[in-house]
Structure 1
Amino acid sequence: MNPFINLTIPAKAEYVDIVRLALFGIANKAGFSFEDIEDLKVAVTEACTNVVLHAYSNQQPGMIDIRFELEDRGICIHIKDEGSSFEYEHAVNKVASLHDKALSELTPGGLGIFMMHALMDKVEVRTDKGTEVILTKLIGRKEEMA
């Protein structure tokens, strides 16, 4: 079984920094480069921010469960909430249509998903009970591809 670390925080913006700090320590210990750690921090921040802004909007503030799983070749990060889900396929299709547009044509929303896909090696989203975003980053992936 691969080692993992669980972290649960309130779904409030002021707690997202705790996730970023934990991620830095875990990714550094796992051997990720500074650039890859920065990519991980951006993607995880986007996923957590989506929870803060959207998951519990009409309810009492909820919690965000984060699970860092160290794997042989990288890290898998699960960001889960018990709040309102969204239509992931619709969001991905909206993001796919952004490629040919000028910056002035962009509208708010969906860019976080675009960034997660651009920065991670794999992005999975499950929306059956709440939302779970699973981000996977492999160590040294860019160097291997060159």
Structure 2
Amino acid sequence: MKNDANVKLSVPARPEFVDLVRLTLYGIAAKMNFSYEEIEDMKVAVSEACNNAVLHAYGGEENGGSVDVRFDILGEDELRITVSDSGESFVPSGDLQSSNLLGKSIEEIQSGGLGLYLMQALMDSVEVRTQQGTAVVMSKRREAAGKASV
């Protein structure tokens, strides 16, 4: 697959379209030679980001808006995925980089906090931007590529 390329996808902010995003991710990541496990991790993280947009960005309106997804192929071994909407902005509580959910029970975790925690656990980096809607920017490097450079 050509290095430094991108694919853009815009789908209605409805649950039945999240599978289309997952299928697109699978196709791109498979062509980049990500492992099955890495692809499954990315699919979970992207689903969480898309579901947050579907559920929260447009206040549950049936024809509320769209979810835009951009897949950026960076070099031979890194994929950056941006999931964005133009709905109501989401502001994560606390410092996103130092999520302290370890040792907490499910009841202690705020609504939405578990999804962000999952994204952070499954991806190499996660950034939430809240200007004119919400954008979640996640990236993943191929594990085999990381081992080869050590």
Q: Check whether TM > 0.5.
A: yes
- Return the match for 1:70 from 73, 79, 85: 73
The alpha-carbon deviation at position 34 of structure 1 amounts to: 0.2
Q: Does 1:55 align with 2:37?
A: no
In structure 2, runs of 5+ residues without a counterpart are none
Report sequence identity in percent: 44
Task: Structure 1: state its 5+ residue gaps.
Answer: none
SS at 1:79 equivalent: strand
One of 111, 126, 130 as aligned partner of 2:129:
126
CA contact (8 A) 1:11 1:52 kept: yes
Deviation at 1:58, TM superposition (A): 6.2
2:36 is equivalent to residue 34 of structure 1? yes
Higher helix share: 1
Offset at residue 124 of structure 1 (A): 1.1
TM superposition score normalised by structure 1: 0.87
CA distances 1:43-75 after superposition (whole Å, capped 9, x unpaired): 000000000010000655110110111111210
| Matched residue SS, 2:38 | helix
Runs of 4+ in 1 over 6 A off after TM superposition: none
| Aligned residues of 1:91 and 1:110 also touching (Cα < 8 A) | no
Aligned-residue RMSD, C-alpha = 2.4
The normalised TM-score by structure 2 is: 0.85
The Cα of 1:80 is off from its aligned counterpart by 0.8
